[in-house]
Chain A
């Protein structure tokens, strides 16, 4: 319930320009220079903040041109912003502050048969991150009028932009030329929308590069989940409570974990706790190649 309230408040406070939907224009005031912590399209008519992933791509896409002109705008602001949030909270941002994550949870409530996300599909977000967010904006030289290359993830894939900005634009402007890329993105959006109804947070797990970045911080972030090995009976109640089917008792700070914290009250033995910067967990220690205090029955990390 607490999480739901935070999600609703975050969505409201970062969409303070609802007139944009009626006027068909994007808010471009001073607040737009700040990033939203989660995925929210810069071009969403009501959005008052910028998408960090879009900002990162635009920054990287402009690096070559900026350096040519002797400017050192190489995306330090947005790298620092994402890195700082990642270091403090990890994917807590995904679970509590992301409007598109919130939307996915609402879509998942549609009564249909439900399926777990195949583990292999969760690597998709890393491929998208490397190829479309870092490699192509930095390496490809198809420049637009400003001399910058494109934010390729936004242009080719992002269902957040298609749903939050594309649909609004279609309704607000009658004579738009909808090209190949827009049709491609509609197919991707519909595909993800269907997937979201049957799999919890399908986009977060398989297609979100921002979640991939925050996930890399889960192991080292200051906010973390700790397992008290003396109390844990490996009953797996935490895994059963986890909508993402994560073995919390082994890897409480797994990169897929969005930190919805449903596992904490599910533990009847009071073995799971949230903490700021305390204790390295068993799973984390193994993954880092360190020697943790293992009990004889302790399993290997599933990362």
Chain B
């Protein structure tokens, strides 16, 4: 594995963990389920 690959893997892992700590999925996707019908074009 090259340094470039390792660096990018660490970078994306850091983003993922930061997003988890910030609660991305709970704060953002909680809203998404309410607008899901709009998302699929019904409403």
Chain A contact residues, CB within 8 Å of chain B: 26, 28, 32-34, 41-43, 50, 54-55, 58-59, 62, 66, 71-73, 75-81, 83-84, 86-88, 144, 146, 148, 150-151, 154-156, 158, 161-162, 165-166, 169, 176-179, 181-182, 184-185, 220-222, 276-277
Instruction: Count A/B pairs, Cβ under 8 Å.
Output: 153
Q: Give me the interface of B with A, judged by CB distance under 8 Å.
A: 1-2, 4-5, 8-9, 11-20, 22-29, 31-43
Residues of B close to A54: CB separation below 8 A = 32, 39
Q: A55-B29, A84-B9, A146-B34 are in contact. Are A178 and B22 (CB under 8 A)?
A: no
With A76-B18, A80-B19 as known contacts, state yes or no: A26 contacts B39, CB within 8 Å: no
Residue of A nearest to B33 (CB): A28
For residue A34, which residues in chain B have a CB less than 8 angstroms away from its CB? 25
CB distance from A232 to the nearest CB of B (A): 23
27 contacts between A and B (CB under 8 A): A28-B33, A33-B26, A33-B29, A42-B32, A50-B29, A73-B24, A79-B12, A79-B19, A80-B15, A80-B17, A80-B19, A146-B34, A150-B38, A154-B40, A155-B40, A161-B40, A165-B36, A166-B40, A169-B40, A176-B42, A178-B41, A178-B42, A185-B40, A185-B41, A222-B9, A276-B1, A277-B2
Please name the residue on chain B nearest to A27 by beta carbon.
B33
With A220-B5, A277-B5 as given contacts, are A169 and B29 in contact (CB-CB < 8 Å)?
no
A276 nearest in chain B by CB position: B1
For the complex of A and B, the 3 pairs showing the least CB-CB separation, nearest first, are A77-B19, A80-B16, A80-B15
Given contacts A42-B33, A42-B36, A150-B38, contact A73 B27 (CB under 8 A): yes
Q: Which residue of A lies closest to B36 (CB)?
A: A43
Q: Assess the A77–B5 pair: CB atoms within 8 A.
A: no
- Residue of B with least CB distance to A88: B9
User: Which of A78, A87, A161, A181 is close to B24, meaning CB atoms less than 8 Å apart?
Assistant: A78
B16: contacting residue among A76, A144, A154, A178, CB under 8 A: A76
A146 in contact with B29 given A84-B16, A177-B42, A222-B5 (CB within 8 Å): no
Asked if B40 and A165 sit within 8 Å, CB to CB, the answer is yes
CA distance A121 to B2 in the complex (A): 33
A54-B39, A72-B22, A73-B28 known, 8 other contacts, Cβ within 8 Å: A34-B25, A55-B29, A76-B16, A79-B15, A177-B43, A178-B42, A179-B42, A185-B40
Chain B residue contacts of A55, Cβ below 8 A: 25, 28-29, 32
